Amino acid sequence: MADIKLYCMGESGNAYKAALALELSGLDWEPVFVDFFGGETRAAEFRDDLNVMGEVPVMVHGDLTLTQSGVIQDYVSELSGKFGGKDKAEKREILRWVLWDNHKMSSQAGMTRFLMNFIPEAKRPAEVIAFTQARLKAAYATLNAALDGRDWLVGDSITNADMSCCGYLFYPEPFGFDRKDWPHIDRWLDGIAALPGWKHPYDLMPGNPSDRK
């Protein structure tokens, strides 16, 4: 039995951020499927026992339970000595990108992808989707510019900044992101995927849209 359990689902980009950090760190961990679409995160048992916020990911390591992908990534860095930056300046810059991603990109990408793919077509709010896609386009432009001439967002190797910002960008479902429109992001994603141990979200965590068809 693995030391660390990550409660997650393959469809969650935020869970992927934590799962990817765990996988690349070399720590002993295992994913535990959470049936979000079956209402598991909304159940009192899940909220009482795992996460009062009713969200994944949730990481359990012995008596310690952590939620929020950025917090879990930080803990993985603490345990493994990886991805957290080489000095105080890098640590601050990583935190800056993690906070930016959560506010400007992942929050918008997650909602837009959900609205465009995981609810009945008749209920998809076209004006909301158009608005969030416009905000996402601005975020992609920021990320693309930051990666011009750089392999990684911070320092000379992958950090939590990269794993946070890539969280939703490997998913195949349409949500207004096309890699060919953003050449620096495209190259960066290829670099992440080339790392030893990298896995696609649907290969790394249980849960796939095809499971519900």
The DSSP code for 212 is G
Residues 76 and 154 in one domain: no
Residues 171 and 130 in one domain: yes
Burial of 57 from C-beta contacts in 10 A (0-12 / 13-18 / 19+): buried
- Model confidence band, residue 136 (pLDDT cutoffs 50, 70, 90): very high
Residues 107 and 158 in one domain: yes
pLDDT tens for each residue of 170-205: 999 999 999 999 999 999 999 999 999 999 999 999
Full residue range of the structural domain in which residue 98 is found: 88-193
Residues 117 and 44 in one domain: no
- Note the pTM of the prediction, 2 decimals: 0.97
Residues 186 and 208 in one domain: no
